[in-house]
Chains A and B, each alone.
Chain A
Amino acid sequence: MARFILTRLGQTLVTLALLTILIFVLARLTGDPTPLVLPSEATEADRAFFREQYGLDRPIHEQYVVFLRNVLHGDFGISFRYREPAFNLVLMAIGPTLQLAGVSMLVAVMLGLPLGIAAALRPGSWLAAAVRAYASFGQAVPTFWSGLMLIFLFAITLPLLPSSGYGEVENFVLPAVTLGFYASASVTMLTWANMTEALRSDFVQMERVLGIPRRLIVLKHALRNASLPIVTYLGLQFGLLLGGAVVTERVFAWPGVGQMLVDAILNRDYPVVQAAVMLTAVLVMTINLAVDLLYAVLDPRVSRS
């Protein structure tokens, strides 16, 4: 087990090192930030000073060495736009993103698992048909549309919830349902397919013959066997939500890291782009590692191999 963890950690570090080069080069490919940071009244001297101040006038390999050295000291530089440490800005944004991703995953699991199990237990029934329709709808509807529809229904037509914003418990409902609904479609289908298979397997048939209570068979033995792909999917989806919930964050004015990253790219705010990508990358890799470890718990064969 220890060796398994060490190998995975080593891989993670190599990936991170490669990522620093990639993100450094990609950020600079977007172009010179000067015209976006300084107003049109700025003189040529102001522009030159700006480039010098942030080291943008130096050769790119020198800039990279400085960047790497600073990152190793935990310094991602100062945001061009906000003139604050980029890392602090990203840390402020990662909280709301983690919260939203967590609550959304909860919604996805709470909707997807029961629906998937129910459909697997009653193949061919009207319930299974309804679940199939739900899952297709959930996967087909883009979040920018479902988000706006939820605002229209539950903030404007029925004024029950705040339409957008962050800070109160009520603010979570609409964005978490928007994201959770989308993810729940896949969770439903995965649960359904894997449960169906697990229910058909020899050990479940055997348990039935032995007279083990059905509830115990389904929830303890079949579900555990069906859970590996679901856990994988949830891990991936969580990673995706950390950096990729841009649309939902924008629609609901959620001050998260996805929207911050897109704004930073559009404003060519290199330090924020670099800090946001690195921090989300570390988080995603941590989650992947956690998922792998969870595998080992769920399926002891993983660590033995």
Chain B
Amino acid sequence: MERADSSGITTSTRPDAPAGIGRRAALLSGAAMALAAGAAPARAQSKPSLTVAVGTDLNTQDPCRVAGGNDYYFFANVFEGLYGPDEEGKPAPLLAESHTVSPDGLTYEFTLRPNARFHNGEPVTAEDVRFSWQRAVAPETRNPRASVLVANIADVEVLDDRRCRVRLKKRDASFLDNCGEYWYIISKKHVQAAGENPFDRQPIGTGPFAFVERRPRSYIKLRGFEQHWGRVPAFGEVTLKIVPDDQSRVAQVQTGESDIVVNVPPVLAAPLQRLPNIQVIRAPSFQNVYIAINALNGHPGLRRADVRRALNMAVDKAALLRATMLGFAQPLELPCHTNIFGCDVQVTPYGYNPDRARQILREAGFDFNRPLRLLGQGTGRVPQARETLQGVAAFLNRIGVKTEINMLDYGAWISAYGAREKDPSVDMVFANFTDYNGDPSGRLLRQVRTGGTYSWYSNPEIDAMLDRMNDFASVEERQQFVRGLIARLHEEAPLIPLWTLDSIYGVSKRLSWKPTPNVSWPVLWNVRRAS
């Protein structure tokens, strides 16, 4: 196929295929580019185009209504916060140039980059920062994720065009980490001029890519933002094609119709690796797969920490990872990946030891006659979800624990897993949890604190530690504290951690790209043409 961009320069991706498939699309977006307010200098039009095949459509284009991890392939490329992930996945200043924190950790003063601009060409000002907070917390916005960060902001004070002071209601050591995913900076002028639902037609952000057009369930077109403060992409037009079927999505890169495919399932990654024109690139994500243990009201034996540790010993995670994931994941010992803040603590691994596990269960008076009822994800959003739970059950059977598996579709599964009152007829749940950034506080609150959405565990001591976790001004002190908490959780074993998934991409060899690690979506600004 040949793709022609609007200036007529073609990037030949597959010379033997009929030309013309992309022509109409190129014309369309060319017109849209010309329309975009003063933000498409000639340089952008001479750049080649890039096509990326993704699996799902967006839920929303409004940064205050992000519904979940699936939406981030859009937001991570089109919007930015004051802080966000750098190329190594660590928090780094994005729209902010620098910041200072008061000794009590309650006041942050940010200086904005002088050359930060919105896609409509307007400079990013402190007033926009203030407005972004106001809109994110306004009740009428109905921001479903306001509770994580913006609701804790007492005030944003505009000092001058480029400087603002953010005062927090209570200390939050995860504040900067969360700025990337929970507080996108939007343009006050744009929102006020656009009326109701300002992001539906024109989602204007500051990211390395600007929105061009979208056809729901077919594609989203973006273009490289030439006036970006530093992350200027090597590509002009970028098409995010929505191809839900795994096999068909992978075929996109085999035929050259797409340059990158995201979410390649492990079973398709291995054969793809053998093709001459394609590279399979994997990056550690923060998508964790584990088994939650019902320590609240399930099988009475599960209320004992020694029993839960024994169940961890019963499962040969390395073998399971090889067999079901074909090695495309990183084994987990702790509830979170070692790149998560405070999760780099050294502990004695549970180790695979079925004999010892059986012995502990006997000593604890575990009722072997009562089967453990396992809840699984039938229709998968997680690769190999069925096989993984079946494998875990088989390992439990090996130490004499009977199991019953109930596979549910995603909706029924998440309703049961996140139910306010946990179902006593469920003993274990196959679960996945995506960390949006390197700070563990938000997820631990939901995952193990008493009453947390996904918590099947309750322990006042752990609750007290969780409540203190963000109340530190010193990073070092906090790190020590979180390490202690994670080590305690390892002893308490409210979960059987299995692995962290790799993000697997099929990428044309004409490109060179280092996907940002520790995020679970493609960040595309650093895709380059291979030299």
Contact = CB atoms under 8 A, between A and B. Distances in A.
Interface in A28-43: 30-33, 35-43
Contacts of A252: 248
Given A37-B67, A46-B144, A82-B216, A164 B418 contact: no
B144 A39 contact: yes
Contact of B257 (A152, A162, A167, A266): A162
B145 interface: yes
Contacts of A89: 216
A93 interface: yes
Contact of A156 (B142, B145, B255): B255
B256 interface: yes
Contacts of B242: 253, 255
B19 to A, nearest CB: 11
A30 B411 contact: yes
A259 B411 contact: no
Interface string B60-86: 100001111000000000000000000
Interface residues of A, number: 47
The secondary structure that dominates the B interface is: loop
Contacts of B252: 163-164
10 contacts: A35-B414, A35-B418, A39-B68, A40-B454, A42-B147, A82-B60, A164-B251, A168-B20, A250-B248, A251-B245
A148 interface: yes
A82 B144 CA distance: 15
Interface stretch (B10-18, B329-337, B513-521): B10-18
A266 B379 CA distance: 9
Interface of B: 1, 14, 16-18, 20-21, 24-25, 59-60, 65-68, 142, 144-145, 147-148, 197, 215-218, 241-245, 247-249, 251-252, 254-257, 379, 409-412, 414-415, 418, 420, 442, 446, 453-454
A259 B18 CA distance: 29
Contacts of A165: 218, 241, 243, 257
Contact of A39 (B20, B67, B245): B67
Contact of A170 (B21, B67, B415): B21
Nearest to B66: A39
A155 interface: yes
A160 B254 CA distance: 13
Interface string A35-59: 1111111111010010000000000
B479 to A, nearest CB: 24
Contacts of B197: 83
A195 B114 CA distance: 80
A41 B144 contact: yes
A277 interface: no
A230 to B, nearest CB: 32
Contacts of A152: 251
Interface pairs A-B: 9 shortest CB-CB: A255-B217, A42-B144, A41-B145, A253-B243, A163-B251, A159-B17, A164-B248, A38-B144, A255-B218
Contacts of A163: 248, 251-252, 254-255, 257
A46 B142 contact: yes
Contacts of A36: 410-411, 414-415
Nearest to A159: B17
B216 to A, nearest CB: 7
Nearest to A259: B244
Contact of A31 (B67, B415, B420): B415
Interface in A125-178: 148, 151-152, 155-156, 159-160, 162-168, 170
Contacts of B20: 168
A156 B251 contact: yes
Nearest to B443: A40
B67 A253 contact: no
Interface in A220-254: 250-253
Contacts of B241: 165, 253
Given A30-B411, A39-B66, A41-B148, A162 B217 contact: no
A159 B18 CA distance: 8
A170 B410 CA distance: 35
Nearest to A88: B216
Given A41-B145, A41-B442, A267-B411, A251 B418 contact: no
Contact of B412 (A31, A148, A166, A251): A31
A107 interface: no
A37 B67 CA distance: 7
B217 A83 contact: no
A253 B216 contact: no
Interface in A155-206: 155-156, 159-160, 162-168, 170
A275 interface: no
B3 to A, nearest CB: 12
Nearest to B25: A167
Given A35-B415, A36-B411, A255-B217, A160 B18 contact: yes
Contacts of B249: 253
Interface string A252-273: 1101000110000011100000
Interface string A267-291: 1100000000000000000000000
A255 B217 CA distance: 6
A46 B137 CA distance: 12
Contact of A148 (B148, B244, B247, B255): B247
A8 interface: no
Contact of A167 (B24, B216, B446): B24
B253 to A, nearest CB: 10
Contacts of A46: 142, 144
Contact of B216 (A148, A255, A267): A255
